[in-house]
Structure 1
Amino acid sequence: MAATVKYDEVEVGQEIPAVDYVVRRLNLVMYAGASGDFNQIHWNERFARMVGLPDVIAHGMYTMAQAGRFVTDWAGDPGAVVDFGVRFSSMVVVPDDDQGATIRVGGVVEEKLEDNRVVVGLTATSGDARVLSKARAVVRLA
């Protein structure tokens, strides 16, 4: 876990360096088991293509979880996030190879609020596609 970020040490406009999260088919199968979402588009390439997808795609909530992980890792406290929301704007296509797919998540401190809270705007991309939009987290810092 990263060192705890302190409210007095952040400024509006401060960028939080992007982090890459690699997604492989195994991650999707493990997530399916944990979440109970066994929709075949997340693990069966033949089925995904049959329904018109380019390949297997990551669960939207898995993608969202990577953005949440980014924020909690930055804050240094998994309990620091007090509000979190996104819209899903594109798919994360996960090929069946050693490289898998990459979700790149970055952020900017957009606003400082009362009670040591900050609003963090997030960007999440995979390849050239923005996979989350309107992604925001309210984080209570030390």
Structure 2
Amino acid sequence: MSPAPRISTLEKGQEIGSREIQLSRADLIRYAAASGDHNPIHWNERFAREVGLDGVIAHGMLTMGLAVDLVTEWVGDPGRVSDYQARFTKPVPVPDADTGAPDAPTATLQVSGKVGVVDVEASTARIDLTVSLDGTKVLVKSQVSVTL
């Protein structure tokens, strides 16, 4: 684990980093197996369309989990995360690859984080995440509280 940032060096608006996360249909199947969430909207194109979606979508909790990883790596220890909240605003479609293996990425999330609030006395900070797909926010009010 890397050392945690020092609370005394943090400022509101300070960037903690950014990354792109690629997703494939195979990622959705692996997440379904690990989480026990086998809802067919996450793997069956026909079913997803029958219930009004444009196609297969990523699990919401997978999206949240992938996004918060930026914070856990920055803070150096996932145990420092004391709260995490987000609102889902748009689904994350993960189309089937046109050719090749099912683990070919077909969707890319963009995740960035900034310090939103610093409480030096409590030694805590709130990190605000921006989580987008093709320029459209898929999570809003994505906020992570950390203890430093």
Normalising by structure 1, what TM-score?
Answer: 0.92
1:135 aligns with 2:142: yes
In 1, Cα distance between equivalents of 2:135 and 2:114? 20
1:123 aligns with 2:145: no
Q: Pick from 98, 112, 126: which aligns with 1:106?
A: 112
In 2, Cα distance between equivalents of 1:117 and 1:55? 40
Equivalent residue, structure 2, for 1:20: 20
Deviation at 1:4, TM superposition (A): 2.9
With over 3 angstroms needed to count, the CA separation of the structure-2 counterparts of 1:2 and 1:131, relative to structure 1, is farther
- Alignment identity in percent? 45
In 1, Cα distance between equivalents of 2:143 and 2:48? 30
Number of residue-to-residue matches in the alignment: 141
Whether the aligned pair in 1 keeps the contact of 2:17 and 2:70 (CA below 8 Å) is no
Unaligned runs of 5+ in 1: none
Q: Does 46-55 or 129-138 show the bigger shift?
A: 46-55
Equivalent residue, structure 2, for 1:82: 82
Deviation at 1:3, TM superposition (A): 4.6
Normalising by structure 2, what TM-score?
Answer: 0.89
Q: Which amino acid letter does the alignment assign opposite residue 86 of structure 2?
A: V
In 2, Cα distance between equivalents of 1:109 and 1:99? 30
Unaligned runs of 5+ in 2: 98-103
Equivalent residue, structure 1, for 2:51: 51
